[in-house]
Structures are given as structure tokens and as C-alpha cells.
Amino acid sequence: MELKELNEKQRADHANAQMKMVKTQSEQLESRNEELETKFADVSRANMDLQKTERELRDQLVKSIPEELANKLNQRIEVSKRYLKSYS
């Protein structure tokens, strides 16, 4: 009878140890999952901010004029200023 009781106790101890190990692993996985969800939210927020910035920069680029045209316009302005100055 003692052997049977000892065997049952060992089984119970083993099952208890397995249960504790699984519980610890589960808690670690839950913690890791929360960490990943937080990091994902941060990355998603950063991505949205970058997309907004990119959209703004693209809009600015579309509204801008080529450097060559800007130089020509500046030259015409200077010529016009000199012309107006000569009649002042």
C-alpha cells in the first residue's frame, strides 16, 4: 500500500509541477503579447505620422515649380525692377 501511495504522490507532484510550469509559460506569453501589442500600436502610430508627412511633402512638391523656371522668373523680376528703377 505504501508504494501505491508513494506512486500517487509522485504523480500528483509531477502533475502539480507541470501545471505550475504551464501557468508560468502562459503568464509569460500573455506579458509578451501585451508588449507586442503596445509596440505594434507605437509602430502603427509612427507609420501614420510618416504617411501624413509624406502626403504633405508630396503636396508641396506638386505645388512647387522647377528650379529652371524659378530662375527665369527671378531674372525677369530683376529686369523689371531695373526697368522701373530707371524710370523713377
Question: Which pLDDT does position 2 carry in this prediction?
Answer: 87
Distance CA 76, CA 83 (A): 10
In the numeric block, the cell 505550475 is attached to 20
For 12, phi then psi, to 5°, come to -65, -45
Indicate the length of the chain as a whole number.
Answer: 88
Domain residue limits, the chain: 2-86
Residue 54, pLDDT score: 97
Confidence at residue 6, expressed as pLDDT on a 0 to 100 scale: 84
What does pTM read for this prediction? 0.59
**Mean pLDDT of each 10-residue bin along the chain, 88 residues long:** 87 96 98 98 98 95 88 92 83
pLDDT at 45: 98
pLDDT at res. 15: 96
- Would you state the pLDDT for residue 43? 98
